[in-house]
């Protein structure tokens, strides 16, 4: 399917949707505003909203869905696929619009997280109980955030202050596979400030993570029929103060310590620490000017442990420090944002890298304006990196509200991903001359919001070049067995649809994504489907309250995918069904039951790695006054 046919189909869908929605508007005059504040898409709470595709998951929805993990919450969201290596706490990769896990930027409260060595964010160690909401913005955002924002940005906001007053809460849960969870917290707001604090614990004995092949060393390379458990302890602290109408400040901290058991290798346990700290100061002397100063740090500490001996066999510690100064100039319909970003990555541990730190500096600007029913957004960023030099990225988007409830959008953007420390400096298998990966993306979409619900339809194409892959034919005296090289080309084309509405009292949300991720590198891989990415995904959530009682169900389906770039190892498609029920025993007490994968479907998202069968979780929660 060509880019032209993708856009033709999207344009046809616009016309059909226009006719359909016009009828709906005639029947329901309560059309809703198309503008919503999505901080991640603009880096600002002011001005016109982003024109990019976005999904927002609020705390109310998180509590209703009862996900066992952040991966379960994200699985099946529009354009988002996940692979997992064996259950809770195991390595999980996020594919957003068909891009690789390293090409998806993850933020926690505005602070970049992720390992500079392997390029991935350890989302599996972030407990759901500590999350207030999640914003997913799809499409290139390097003009705002720099490296990694190729497929999009996922921002996780931890629990905040909530309503005025003091609000304590706690919850406990038990479940299958010897699962135990507990969390407690307190939040409060006064006339001049707010605070939030919480702790959480979870542990699970789990199941056998991997059935590897000890002959070919595929997967984990061994067969160890045991339970591979996981434990996580976390704490969050946050607070803010309004000094006066002009000055405000806040700070946040999230620390999660995980212990993960897995199969294969000399060491089969990991002890991981994820810590994210950030502070923000805002100075707004007028309604048309605001200055923001942000600083943050992400510490990622991973230690390999040899079984029950407790001996440490290896350690990698990375530290990412970030700071930014941003000015917002203008009002609700016309806003210019300009700023400076600074980032320092550092790595240390038992593996000694030739270079153990790097610094990146960037200037960026973004202009958003609205005139009548026309919306425009454009941005430009110049980044200078001490490892590979400079990178310039930009974006431009246009939106047209051709009715009060319907908007047509078109956009173009470029993005890049910096090589990791492993790519550049890992002893014996690295290439210090690598260039950043780059992309060019176009998109056409239409969205509507009415009294009965909301929907969207988007078509896009993303071309990627200079992708970094291991090349055994490229050698050097320091890397005699090959090294990474900028040799791969790829393109991703897709259509994605979202529908949310109320049917006979049922709150129904559905998403569907059709993705064609193809390798375009000349040679044997040309035309092959990019590995571990399904071509079709769909998710349906349906929930309804019956007074004190609630019922809900989710169906999540993926088509077949390939585990290897050559498309020789096929993993079949699958669909899982989750059921949930709740009982509000009083204003403060709530009892919930979740049964996941009701039909005990066996499937893989990464070859040789098992996934959970039928599981259940019974939880009790106390939230007075909420």
How do residues 69-99 score in pLDDT, each as one tens digit?
Answer: 999 999 999 999 999 999 999 999 999 999 9
pLDDT at 26 over 70: no
pLDDT band per the 50, 70, 90 thresholds, residue 121: very high
Residue 319 CA, chain-centre distance (Å), reads: 20
Extended beta strands in 436-588, E state: 437-450, 453-471, 483-503, 506-519, 536-546, 549-558, 561-562, 570-571, 574-584
Q: What is the pLDDT of residues 134-171, one digit of tens each?
A: 999 999 999 999 999 999 999 999 998 878 889 999 99
pLDDT computed for residue 307 by the predictor: 66
- So what's the pLDDT on residue 309? 66
Instruction: Give the bridge partners for 605, in sequence order.
Output: none
How does DSSP assign 571-584, residue by residue?
E--EEEEEEEEEEE
β-bridge mates for residue 595, sequence order: 579, 616
3-state secondary structure of 48: coil
- For residue 410 the two structure tokens come to 């078109």
Q: How much is the mean pLDDT over the chain?
A: 91
Mean pLDDT of 27-31: 42
Quote the pTM value. 0.92
Distance CA 136, CA 77 (A): 9
Would you state the pLDDT for residue 478? 85
CA distance 59 to 169: 14
Query: Cβ of 577: how many Cβ atoms within 10 Å?
Result: 16
3-class SS of residue 433 = coil
Going by pLDDT thresholds of 50, 70 and 90, the confidence category of residue 24 is very low
- pLDDT tens digit sequence for 200-222: 999 999 999 998 888 888 888 88
Which residues form the domain of 519? 3-622
Q: Percent of the chain scored above 70 by pLDDT?
A: 93
The CATH number assigned to the domain holding 124 equals 2.40.170.20
> What mean pLDDT comes out for the span 409-436?
94
Residue 148 CA to residue 100 CA, distance in Å, equals 10
pLDDT tens column, 328-346: 999 989 999 999 999 999 9
Average pLDDT over residues 490-499: 97
The region of weakest confidence among 50-54, 257-261, 384-388, 538-542 is 384-388
Please answer whether residues 99 and 146 qualify as being in contact, where contact means their C-beta atoms are separated by less than 8 angstroms: no
pLDDT for the residue 389: 84
Domain count, the chain: 1
């Amino acid at each position: 399917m060509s880019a032209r046919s993708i856009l033709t189909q999207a344009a046809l869908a616009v016309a059909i949707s226009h006719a359909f929605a016009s009828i709906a508007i005639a029947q329901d005059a309560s059309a809703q505003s198309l503008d919503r504040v999505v901080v991640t898409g603009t880096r600002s709470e002011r001005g016109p909203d982003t024109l990019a595709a976005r999904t927002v998951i609020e705390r109310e929805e998180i509590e209703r869905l009862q996900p066992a993990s952040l991966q379960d919450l994200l699985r099946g969201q529009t354009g988002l696929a996940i692979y997992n290596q064996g259950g809770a706490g195991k390595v999980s990769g996020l594919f957003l619009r068909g891009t690789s896990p390293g090409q998806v930027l993850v933020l926690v409260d505005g602070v970049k997280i992720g390992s500079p060595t392997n390029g991935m964010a350890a989302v599996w160690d972030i407990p759901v109980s500590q999350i207030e909401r999640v914003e997913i913005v799809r499409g290139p955002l390097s003009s705002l955030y720099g490296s990694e924002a190729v497929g999009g940005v996922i921002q996780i906001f931890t629990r905040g202050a909530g309503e005025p007053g003091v609000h304590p809460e706690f919850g406990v849960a038990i479940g299958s596979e010897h699962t135990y969870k507990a969390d407690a917290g307190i939040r409060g707001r006064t006339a001049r400030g707010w605070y939030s604090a919480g702790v959480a614990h979870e542990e699970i004995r789990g199941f056998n993570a991997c059935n590897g092949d000890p002959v070919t060393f595929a997967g984990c390379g061994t067969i160890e029929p045991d339970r591979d458990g996981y434990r996580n302890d976390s704490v969050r602290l946050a607070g803010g103060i309004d000094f006066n109408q002009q000055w405000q400040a806040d700070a946040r901290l999230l620390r999660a310590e995980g212990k993960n058991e897995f199969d294969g290798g000399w060491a089969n346990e990991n002890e991981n620490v994820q810590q994210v700290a950030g502070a923000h100061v805002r100075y707004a002397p007028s309604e048309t000017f605001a200055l923001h100063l942000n600083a943050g740090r992400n510490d990622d500490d991973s230690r390999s442990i040899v079984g029950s001996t407790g001996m440490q066999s290896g350690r990698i510690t990375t530290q990412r420090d970030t700071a930014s100064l941003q000015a917002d100039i203008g009002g609700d319909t016309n806003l210019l944002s300009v700023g400076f970003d600074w980032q320092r990555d550092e790595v240390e541990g038992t593996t000694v890298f030739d270079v153990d730190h790097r610094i990146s500096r960037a200037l960026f600007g973004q202009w958003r304006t609205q005139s009548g029913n026309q919306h425009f957004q454009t941005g430009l960023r110049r980044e200078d990196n001490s490892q590979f030099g400079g990178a310039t990225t930009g974006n431009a988007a246009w939106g047209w509200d051709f009715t009060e409830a319907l908007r047509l959008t078109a956009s173009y953007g470029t993005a890049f991903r910096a090589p990791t420390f492993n790519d550049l400096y890992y002893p014996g298998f690295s290439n210090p001359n690598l260039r950043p990966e780059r992309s060019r993306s176009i998109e056409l979409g239409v969205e509507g919001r009415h009294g009965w619900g909301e929907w969207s339809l988007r078509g896009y194409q993303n071309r990627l070049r200079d992708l970094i892959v291991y090349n055994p034919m490229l050698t050097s005296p320091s890397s005699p067995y090959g090294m990474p090289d900028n040799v791969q080309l790829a393109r991703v084309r897709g259509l994605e649809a979202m529908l949310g509405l109320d049917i006979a009292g049922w709150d129904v949300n559905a998403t569907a994504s059709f993705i064609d991720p193809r390798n375009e590198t000349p040679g044997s891989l040309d035309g092959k489907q990019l590995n571990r990415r399904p071509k079709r995904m769909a998710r349906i959530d349906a929930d309804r309250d019956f007074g004190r009682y609630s019922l809900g169900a989710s169906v999540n389906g993926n088509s077949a995918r390939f585990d290897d770039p050559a498309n020789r190892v096929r993993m079949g498609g699958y669909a899982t069904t989750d059921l949930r029920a709740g009982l509000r025993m009083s204003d403060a007490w709530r009892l919930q039951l979740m049964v996941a994968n009701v039909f005990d479907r066996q499937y893989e998202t990464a070859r040789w790695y098992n996934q959970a069968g039928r599981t259940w979780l019974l939880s009790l929660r106390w939230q007075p006054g909420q």
